[in-house]
Amino acid sequence: MKNIEKYKNAFVEALEIEEDEVGEGLVLGETSEWDSLGHMILISTMEEAFDVSLDAEWMSEFDSYQSGLKLLDRLGVDFVNE
Amino acid sequence: MTFISIEFLLFFAVIVFTYYAIPHRWRWVLLLAASYSFYASLSGYFVFLLLTSTAFSYVTGRLIEKQETKKQKKKVMLMGICVLLFLLGWFKYFNFVNDSVRAISAYLNWNYAIPYQEIILPIAISFYTFQAVSYLVDIYRGKLKAERHYGYFSIYFAFFPQLVAGPIERAKKLLPQFKTEQTLKYENLSYGMKRIAWGFFKKTLIADRLAPIVASVYDNPDATGSQIVLATILFSVQLYADFSALSDIAIGCARMLGIKLTENFKQPHFATSIGDFWNRWHITFSTWLRDYIFVPLCKGKKKRSEIYVAIIITFLISGIWHGAAWSFVLWGLIHGFYRVFGDHTKQARGKMASFTYLDRNPTFHKWVKIAITFLLVCFSRVFFRSDSVTAAFTNAKLFLTPSSWSPSGIIEAFEIFSLLDLAIFAFFFIVMQLFHHVERKNASTWNWLSQRPVFARYAVYVLIVVSVLVFGATGQGFVYGGF
């Protein structure tokens, strides 16, 4: 499975939302599923999916679909040349 | 020497003058001497405990860094945290545990021989221990390098403006500021003085004026339900004014030395939910709990129910941190319950708002949420304020009794004020609310004020200073100073 698919699946699994709801417009706090507690579940799911560790500082940075991609990219997850 | 004293203001004036008069390379010596003198004036011989904790944390930090593997680093970090928590536990919780075990033993008819011990709680131990723990964990996580300069490290541990009751700062934020040469800036002096004056205003005109009135109800075993309701609401105002004043003075003093501390309050009584309340109340403590307790507890958790357990544990620790008594434990658990219940009923509450058309008027809906959150916070504070668990339950029952809320009963309960006290309190409470109103509209009341004509600006400054001098009440310690 490609990393971008793993990334989208993590949202679906953690936030219990439909696949077509996962996209660039997804922002923390703007849907009832992605609230502060859902965020903790999403972080755990991302950590397991990509074998990374996200601390509190990075967790605050991860506040949208897009910023999550950038953050994981910085941690060595390749979404382009895989 | 407490913050609210002429001695402190004179002491601080001398420190500020000397700070800018001497070269930067000697300023750490001045700050350290000032910090230890200030602490010794408050806590006497416990300054040696502060010195020991500082030296221990310094060495442990260096040791963590020297370890080669993550596992070894973790071992040293945990050892260091255990020692720091042992000291905190010994001084703060020994008698709490001892009394609890004795009570259980008596109930079970067991023989328990350890008597009550006379242990004095060293001032600020909860605050500097938390700063030390964050320092060690940040080094272990690789977020911070262990500090080499013992002098600067010691100031981080004992910086006198924030030593007594925070804000709880991270080394990463504070240490670089101590090392940077701070130049004398008018805006820093001006802003700092205004924050200090505002702290004096809240402490002497709101908190210390309310303290004896609240105590007259909570110390009275025959207090009526309406008196408990009124006194609890007033206690919430007192606690906010008291603790935020302490932060204002700390932030103001530090700013006069060119150091920026973290804001600790964002009008918490205007929170729209309990989660929002904890983003606005004692912010540096909440973020500390989030980063060093809640987030590690949530690692690997993929169910809401598991996150709920982490929330309850975090709030339990928050309660225990506040005080060595079961009433504080219950207070923490109540907030944990609020948070979990709030999350669990989120959808149902959304439907309810829609059913009652509340959500069609967002402004009104927001104020309903603010009122409910404030009352929930007030209820929890019955446990915070009561002297024992038995008293807390009695008062909580009175608080929840519908007849306690009858308008006539509440009006009658205002008899706990003398007419003069009520007039003075009402006037200064309105001034504080106006300040908050401007802050909600403009982000910073001080910036807004600086854009007003000189006459209006100075009228406000004179009002603050003259009010403190004429009507200010003193003699009460800070509530959070005892933690």
What values do phi and psi take at A64, rounded to 5?
-160, 170
Contact B343 A45 (CB under 8 A): no
Mapping DSSP to helix (H, G, I), strand (E, B) and coil, where does residue A81 land?
Answer: coil
C-alpha–C-alpha distance, residues B234 and B211, integer Å: 9
Closest alpha carbon to B21 in B256, B183, B254, B258 = B183
Q: From the list A32, A41, A55, which residue is nearest B346 (CB)? A: A32
pLDDT range class, residue A15, cuts 50, 70, 90? confident
C-alpha–C-alpha distance, residues B397 and B413, integer Å: 17
Whether ipTM > 0.85 holds is no
Instruction: Name, in order, each residue with C-beta under 8 angstroms of B288's C-beta and a sequence gap of 6 or more.
Output: B130, B134, B168
Counts of helices then strands in chain B (DSSP H, E): 24, 0
Q: From the list B295, B303, B350, which residue is nearest A56 (CB)? A: B295
Counts of helices then strands in chain A (DSSP H, E): 4, 0
- Between helices B186-201 and B225-256, what is the axis angle to 10°? 160
B303 touches chain A (CB under 8 A): yes
CB B417 within 8 A of CB B360: no
Q: Tens of pLDDT along chain B (483 residues)?
A: 788 888 889 999 999 999 999 999 999 999 999 999 999 888 888 889 899 999 999 999 999 999 989 899 999 999 999 999 999 888 888 888 888 888 888 888 888 777 777 777 788 888 899 999 999 999 998 889 999 999 999 999 899 998 887 799 999 999 999 999 999 999 999 999 999 999 999 999 999 889 999 999 999 888 888 999 999 999 999 999 999 999 999 999 999 999 999 999 999 999 999 989 999 999 999 999 998 999 889 888 888 889 999 999 999 999 988 877 888 999 999 999 999 999 888 888 888 888 888 888 889 989 999 999 999 999 999 999 998 889 999 999 999 999 989 899 889 888 888 888 899 889 999 999 998 898 888 778 888 888 888 888 888 888 888 888 878 777 665 555 555
C-alpha–C-alpha distance, residues B268 and B247, integer Å: 14
Q: Which residue has the tokens 């008819």?
A: B109
A59 CB neighbours in chain B (<8 A) are: 295
Domain boundaries, chain A: 3-17+27-74
B344 touches chain A (CB under 8 A): no
C-alpha–C-alpha distance, residues B79 and A48, integer Å: 29
Cis before B167 (ω within 30): yes
Q: Within chain A, what is the greatest distance between any pair of CA atoms? A: 34
Contact B300 A37 (CB under 8 A): no
Q: From the list A44, A55, A57, which residue is nearest B301 (CB)? A: A44
B291 touches chain A (CB under 8 A): yes
A51 touches chain B (CB under 8 A): no
> Residue B102: exposed, middle, or buried by beta-carbon count in 10 A (0-12, 13-18, 19+)?
middle
CB A77 within 8 A of CB A6: no
pLDDT range class, residue A82, cuts 50, 70, 90? low
Per-residue pLDDT, B446: 84
Per-residue pLDDT, B481: 56
What values do phi and psi take at B161, rounded to 5?
-60, -35
Q: Which residue has the tokens 């990393």?
A: A3
B343 touches chain A (CB under 8 A): yes
Secondary structure E strands in B204-298: none
A40 touches chain B (CB under 8 A): yes
C-alpha–C-alpha distance, residues B197 and B189, integer Å: 12
Per-residue pLDDT, B362: 87
What values do phi and psi take at A27, rounded to 5?
-135, 140
- Residue of chain A nearest B342, judged by CA positions: A37
B172 touches chain A (CB under 8 A): no
Closest alpha carbon to B132 in B42, B53, B195, B241 = B53
C-alpha–C-alpha distance, residues B413 and A61, integer Å: 49
Mean pLDDT of A64-78: 85
Contact A41 B291 (CB under 8 A): no
CB B168 within 8 A of CB B285: yes
Per-residue pLDDT reduced to its tens digit, A17-64: 888 888 888 888 888 888 888 888 988 898 888 888 888 778 888 888
- Sign of the alpha-carbon dihedral angle for A22, A28, A32, A34: positive
B350 touches chain A (CB under 8 A): yes
B313 touches chain A (CB under 8 A): no
C-alpha dist (Å) from residue B79 to A35, B63, B133 = 36, 11, 11
- Residues of chain A numbered 52-71 and touching chain B (CB < 8 Å): 55-57, 59
Per-residue pLDDT, B477: 59
A55 CB neighbours in chain B (<8 A) are: 141, 143, 291, 295
CB B143 within 8 A of CB B172: yes
How many other C-beta atoms can be found within 10 angstroms of the C-beta atom of residue A61?
14
> Residue B94: exposed, middle, or buried by beta-carbon count in 10 A (0-12, 13-18, 19+)?
middle
Closest alpha carbon to B31 in B166, B167, B155, B188 = B155
Interface test with B, best of A11, A55, A57, A75 (most B CBs within 10 A): A55
Min Cα separation A47/chain B (Å): 8
B295 CB neighbours in chain A (<8 A) are: 40, 55-56, 59
C-alpha–C-alpha distance, residues B263 and A7, integer Å: 36
- Choosing from B269, B282, B322, B335, the catalytic residue is B322
Contact A35 B303 (CB under 8 A): no
Closest alpha carbon to B208 in B421, B460, B435 = B421
Active site residue B322: yes
Per-residue pLDDT, B476: 60
Min Cα separation B347/chain A (Å): 8
